[in-house]
């Protein structure tokens, strides 16, 4: 297939980018593009080759055939070309890719299934009942990605619950790094049950820390924006950690209540409650400290004009929003630095943690169901 002919099938917005690349590489056909991607020793050329692969319109049949290509990168790139409900007719041919030997190819196929919608569930559920080996296991992962644990069969639910309980018991004394992106609450209490009750959280399921962190990150980074309850259906609540219980996620009313109000309410019940926030994609950070129902300190790097009070722990640090000359020699302080001093820093789970953490459903989760998305049970 001539690349120039493939470009004629689509908008010419990217034509010059593609034409520049094929001219520099001295190629004219799609097969030659594949050769460049799989044989070049220049990483920049390979990356640009994959970019061109995604820009030309080679057609679904070509991409489906490439799902069996010997090079894993080509299989991954081919799987990435199937997204949304329009990919549904090809689900049966994409199914074996869920069990590909390469992690990144499997992940790309999983994302493809996750965008197809609930109409792909019967295929995955039938595969789970009738297939064997890796494909049968992959079908369960696909079901979780498409519809979450609510779509598991009773038998699969028992298998997963049993395995999670085993991992939770094994996890009590582990030390794990936690990817922090989003907000969490630190409540001064060792009474997890009381936290669940005050926050209105139900159906708690014991989980290992890694799985709790996976759920929080999955829900916070969910691609689907149509589901307004994707970020407020469940939260991860830790066991007692040096006298604190942490709540990761949005426990109240789909995240519409301000954190200052939530911290004030929680501190009125438990004496002290904090909120911390970190982002993995930009410079956002935030913290809120409340005692006996009153806000002692509130800071949000993106809403610095709304800050309340100050903390001794901030002395000698610069606030991230402040770019004035007098702060040039100061390191910025982040929510994890404040948490380390005033409560516990979950960037590393260490120290004595009593009891198992749990995933629990909010009111939104009980009404609208658990969030979809495959979660790894162990690192």
The whole-chain average pLDDT of the chain stands at 85
Predicted confidence band at 171 (pLDDT cuts at 50, 70, 90)? Answer: low
Strand order in the sheet with 272-278: 202-207, 357-361, 234-237, 245-248, 182-187, 272-278, 285-291, 294-300
Mean per-residue pLDDT, 158-175: 62
Mean per-residue pLDDT, 130-148: 87
For residue 292, pLDDT over 90 is answered with yes
pLDDT in tens, 22-37: 888 888 888 999 999 9
- What is the DSSP-derived secondary structure letter of residue 281? S
Residue 8 neighbours by CB under 8 Å, 6+ apart: none
pLDDT in tens, 241-274: 889 999 998 888 666 789 999 999 999 999 999 9
Mean per-residue pLDDT, 35-45: 92
From 35-39, 75-79, 181-185, 210-214, the region with the lowest mean pLDDT: 210-214
Position 173 scores a pLDDT of 47
Reported as type and span, the H/E element at residue 297 is strand 294-300
Predicted confidence band at 73 (pLDDT cuts at 50, 70, 90)? Answer: very high
pLDDT exceeding 90 applies to what percent of the chain?
45
Predicted confidence band at 1 (pLDDT cuts at 50, 70, 90)? Answer: low
pLDDT in tens, 303-342: 999 999 999 999 989 999 988 877 778 889 999 999 999 9
Predicted confidence band at 286 (pLDDT cuts at 50, 70, 90)? Answer: very high
pTM (2 decimals)?
0.64
For residue 3, pLDDT over 90 is answered with no
Q: Which residue has the higher pLDDT, 141 or 269?
A: 269
Predicted confidence band at 54 (pLDDT cuts at 50, 70, 90)? Answer: confident
Position 117 scores a pLDDT of 87
Predicted confidence band at 167 (pLDDT cuts at 50, 70, 90)? Answer: low
Q: Which residue has the higher pLDDT, 290 or 213?
A: 290
Residue 280 neighbours by CB under 8 Å, 6+ apart: 179, 180, 181
Mean per-residue pLDDT, 288-297: 96
């Amino acid at each position: 297939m001539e690349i120039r002919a493939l470009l004629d099938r689509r908008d010419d917005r990217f034509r010059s980018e593609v034409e520049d690349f094929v001219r520099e590489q001295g190629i004219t056909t799609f097969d030659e593009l594949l050769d460049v991607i799989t044989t070049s020793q220049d990483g920049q050329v390979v990356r640009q080759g994959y970019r061109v692969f995604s820009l030309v319109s080679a057609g679904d049949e070509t991409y489906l055939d490439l799902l069996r290509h010997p090079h894993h990168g080509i299989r991954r790139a081919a799987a990435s070309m199937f997204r949304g409900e329009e990919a549904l007719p090809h689900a049966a041919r994409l199914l074996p890719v869920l069990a590909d030997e390469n992690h990144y190819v499997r992940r790309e196929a999983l994302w493809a299934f996750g965008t197809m919608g609930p109409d792909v569930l019967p295929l995955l559920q039938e595969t789970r009942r009738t297939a064997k080996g890796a494909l049968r296991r992959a079908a369960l992962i696909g079901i979780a990605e498409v519809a979450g644990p609510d779509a598991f069969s009773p038998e699969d639910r028992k298998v997963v619950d049993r395995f999670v309980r085993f991992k939770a018991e094994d996890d009590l004394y582990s030390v794990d790094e936690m990817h922090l992106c989003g907000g969490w609450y630190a409540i001064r209490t060792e009474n997890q049950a009381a936290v669940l009750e005050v926050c209105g959280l139900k159906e708690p399921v014991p989980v290992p820390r890694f799985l709790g962190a996976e759920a929080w990150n999955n829900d916070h980074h969910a691609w689907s924006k149509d589901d307004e309850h994707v970020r407020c259906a469940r939260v991860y609540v830790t066991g007692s950690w040096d006298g604190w219980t942490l709540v990761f996620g949005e426990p109240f009313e789909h995240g519409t209540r301000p954190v200052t109000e939530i911290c004030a309410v929680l501190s009125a019940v438990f004496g002290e409650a904090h909120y911390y926030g970190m982002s993995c994609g930009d410079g956002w950070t935030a913290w809120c400290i409340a005692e006996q129902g009153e806000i002692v300190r509130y800071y949000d790097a993106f809403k610095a004009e709304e800050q309340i009070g100050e903390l001794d722990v901030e002395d000698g640090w610069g606030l991230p929003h402040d770019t004035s000359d007098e702060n040039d020699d100061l390191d910025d302080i982040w929510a994890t630095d404040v948490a380390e001093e005033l409560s516990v820093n979950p960037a590393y789970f260490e120290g004595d943690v009593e009891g198992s953490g749990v995933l629990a459903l909010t009111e939104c989760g009980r009404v609208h169901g658990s969030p979809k998305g495959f979660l790894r049970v162990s690192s």
